[in-house]
Amino acid sequence: MEYLVVFSFHFFIMGSFVMFLSGLLGFLFPRVISFFVVIILSMLIGYIYSVIYEVPGLAFFSALFNGTLSLLALGFVKAYYYSKQKAQEISDIDL
Cα–Cα distance measured from residue 35 to residue 33, given in angstroms and rounded to the nearest whole number: 7
Decide if pLDDT at 89 tops 80. Answer: yes
Cα→Cα distances 88→1, 28, 77, 78, 82, Å: 53, 20, 17, 15, 10
CA dist 71 and 23 (Å) reads: 9
What pLDDT score was predicted for residue 1? 62
Each residue's pLDDT tens digit, 4-61: 777 788 888 999 999 999 999 999 998 878 889 999 999 999 999 889 988 888 889 9
pTM of the prediction?
0.84
**pLDDT of the residue at 42:** 94
Predicted local confidence at residue 5, as pLDDT: 75
